Amino acid sequence: MGSVSGRSLGIALRKLRKSKGLTLEDVAKHFDWSPAKVSRIELGRVAVTTRDARDLAIYYGVDDETELQTLRRLARGSRQRDWWHAYNDVLPKQFGTYLGLEAEAASIHAWEPLLIPGLLQTAAYARALVVAHRAEHNEGETERRVEARMERQDILSGEEAPFMQAVLGESALRRQVGGRDVMRDQLAFLAKMTERQNVQVHIVPYSAGAYMPMEGGFQMLRFADPEAAPIVCIDLLTRNLYLDDVAEVGRYRDAWEDVLTKALPHTESAAMIKAAAEEMEK
């Protein structure tokens, strides 16, 4: 996965191409490239030289110097490394793809039946999960993975922070990851996060019964560009799976709507989280 700038550049170039009624094959033939290369550029999967960005823009009829400078800036950014590359030694390579998509999303919709989502975890809670999932890691590797997770949470701060809506199963509140003290602090932190304007947390109580996505959690990322289709991300034991097929994404959208319908409203969920935190003090 290329940088966030690379994906933004790809979206801009795709818009320009479509506005001219050109196909991937048309562009490939003009530049003596393969259609696959043009596709990878538009998907942000490869770095783009400033010259290629300029030549594509001119071919698409862009003559405004400000717009050309913006495209060149994005091209330069596509060749830079994002923050998570500093943790390549401890993070799975495929997870970098997810982080690139997450950094670009306008909204993040997470369904987690058993655990607190990574963006809403405390360091102690994250550490307990890393130790449980990666027993082979030494202490230094564990701490770097926790550090990366904490740095990742910066995405929820600032003026351009995405909207995050998380639906959690009640089990996520009851499972004592790291012990009672760690869980108490985690739930207190989660309750505090629900006070942010760009964060909503809903709880599906045990009393809700069965729900559609019984097999596990997933994240759905939506983007500001109306032409950028939503992407569903699923964490598997050995890899991350990314879905952009319209029919498959539609099924996960239905699953999301199902658990959201069965979940408690935001205010009632926040009260349930606070009550669960208080229970951990007993």
What confidence category does residue 110 fall into, taking pLDDT thresholds of 50, 70 and 90?
very high
Nearest alpha carbon to residue 148 among 66, 210, 86: 86
CATH of range 4-78; options 1.10.260.40, 3.40.50.150, 1.20.1560.10, 1.20.120.80: 1.10.260.40
Q: How many other CB atoms are found less than 10 A from the CB of residue 50?
A: 16
State the average pLDDT over residues 114-132: 94
Does the pLDDT value for residue 3 go beyond 70?
no
The structure's pTM equals 0.74
Which of 78-87, 177-186, 195-204 comes out lowest in average pLDDT? 78-87
Do 124 and 185 touch, CB atoms closer than 8 A?
A: yes
Does the pLDDT value for residue 226 go beyond 90?
no
Does the pLDDT value for residue 4 go beyond 90?
no
Does the pLDDT value for residue 135 go beyond 70?
no
Domains of the chain: which residue ranges? 4-78, 88-279
| Residues 161, 104: Cα–Cα separation, whole Å | 10
Determine how β-strand 163-169 pairs with β-strand 107-112: parallel
Does the pLDDT value for residue 17 go beyond 90?
yes
Determine how β-strand 231-235 pairs with β-strand 240-243: antiparallel
What confidence category does residue 98 fall into, taking pLDDT thresholds of 50, 70 and 90?
confident
Nearest alpha carbon to residue 10 among 46, 36, 61: 46
Q: What is the pLDDT of residues 241-274, one digit of tens each?
A: 888 888 999 999 999 999 999 999 999 999 999 9
DSSP 3-state assignment of 235?
strand
User: What local confidence, expressed as pLDDT, does residue 239 receive?
Assistant: 80
User: What local confidence, expressed as pLDDT, does residue 108 receive?
Assistant: 96
CATH of range 88-279; options 3.30.2310, 1.10.12, 3.30.1330, 3.30.870: 3.30.870
What's the burial of 273, exposed, middle or buried (CB within 10 Å: 0-12/13-18/19+)? buried
What confidence category does residue 208 fall into, taking pLDDT thresholds of 50, 70 and 90?
very high
Strands in 175-262 per DSSP E:
199-204, 218-222, 231-235, 240-243
| Residues 191, 116: Cα–Cα separation, whole Å | 12
Look at 78 and 237; give whichever has higher pLDDT.
237
User: What local confidence, expressed as pLDDT, does residue 197 receive?
Assistant: 93
| Residues 273, 278: Cα–Cα separation, whole Å | 9
Q: What is the pLDDT of residues 161-173, one digit of tens each?
A: 899 999 999 999 9
Q: What is the pLDDT of residues 19-77, one digit of tens each?
A: 999 999 999 999 999 888 898 888 877 778 888 888 999 999 998 888 888 888 788 76
